[in-house]
Amino acid sequence: MKKKIAVLPGDGVGPEVIDQAVKVLDAVADRFDHFFEYCYADVGAIAIDHHGDPLPEVTLETCLHADAVLFGAIGHPRYDSDPNAQVRPEQGLLRLRKGLGLYANVRPVTTYANLLHLSPLKEEKVKDVDFVIYRELTGGIYFGDKGRTNMEAYDVCTYTRNEVERIARLAFEAAQKRRKKVTCVDKANVLESSRFWRDIVRNLSDDYPEVELDFMYVDNAAMQIIQWPTQFDVVLTSNMFGDILSDEASVISGSMGLLPSASVGVNTSLFEPIHGSYPQAAGEDLANPMAAILSAAMMLESFGLWEEGKAIRNTITHLLERGIGTAELNLENKFSCSQIGDMIAYLLAESESIRLTDQKIAQRISTII
């Protein structure tokens, strides 16, 4: 298979973790006989520095002509400390989402057996957590009519049938490949827009008879994600509710360095780790690249390369089970960002029977294991 991938490393640790993701993709290409063409472009603070624009036209064009976008992170302290800055890195990401027509954010939430102690929740609560949130990205209260006077302010929540149907279908199709359950989260006891969602999702479920559908009010869902997260398989929800719930769920694993994401678009799709630019660690080779590498796995699966995506996931699980990770995971064997990338790429390039030996781990060999 041949695919063109737009690579937007961005700011902070973005370039470092994306370098490791590309390294792993190259290993996958070699092993499974694919060809990935990488087209690099600037976005965020680095784009402001180079072009005076957080999203240069050439970057958007590069993305529009690619089969997928692999994205690092954006943000820089000099803009965070200047509330009056007229041009900001985050503007680039918002414009990119609009330009690519990104309408669905997909956030997997997974825990790993030997990292349960990192979670702020009790280990028995988070063991075997494995669900994914499908958040609508282009409609709802964030994009509705807004207004303000001295006496009042308003934000209108508006959804069209097409906006609800297209993300609902994605959620049902995902559930078919998972544990066949969709939980639609809303506030239908109060909001007309939520009742609109319920009607559409309920009718659409007839096309997926093998998938169980239930509904849950958002306040209850916020509690249930903490109290009983293993009950969820695919969570389907609107823009604002998804914004809140996905951030809540992101802390369950205990490390944002393990959480990938995808944003499905009309024109193409974008894949990125959920962590920020972490500028304090930029250039230090400290960042955890696993979220970026898992984002690359999601990208491969979007191409229909399920075996390749599974191979990446299995390799990362193997490393974690052996107590191998970056410093922030607080495991027995601590390695740098680039060393973790080397290990994953090496294991992918070899047969599935190749595994790390205790001696090699002790020697901290990463380029030739």
Structural domain boundaries of the chain?
1-101+266-369, 103-255
Which pLDDT score, from 0 to 100, does residue 358 have? 59
Top-tier CATH class for 103-255: alpha beta
Strands 234-237 and 130-136, sheet pairing: parallel
> Rounded distance, CA 350 to CA 353, Å?
8
CB atoms within 10 A of CB 35: 9
Fold designation for 1-101+266-369: Isopropylmalate Dehydrogenase (3.40.718)
Q: In 10 A of CB 342, how many CB atoms? A: 21
**Residue type for position 278:** Y
Same fold, 1-101+266-369 and 103-255: yes
Q: Which tens digits make up the pLDDT trace of 294-326?
A: 999 999 999 999 999 999 999 999 999 999 999
- pLDDT for 153 equals 96
- What pLDDT does 349 receive? 87
The pLDDT of residue 80: 72
Q: For every residue of 69-122, which 3-state class applies, written as one string?
A: EEEEECCCHHHHCCCCCCCCHHHHHHHHHHHHCEEEEEEEEECCHHHHHHCCCC
Q: 312 φ, ψ to 5°? A: -65, -45
Taking the alpha carbons of 260, 90, 247, 202 in that order, is the dihedral positive or negative?
negative
Cα separation, 270 vs 247, whole angstroms: 19
> Distance from CA of residue 340 to its chain's centroid?
19
pTM: 0.90
Rounded Cα gap, residues 240 and 26, in angstroms: 37
The stretches in the chain having pLDDT less than 50 are 353, 366-368
What residues are labeled active site? 142, 187, 219, 243, 247
Specify the 3-state DSSP secondary structure of 56. coil
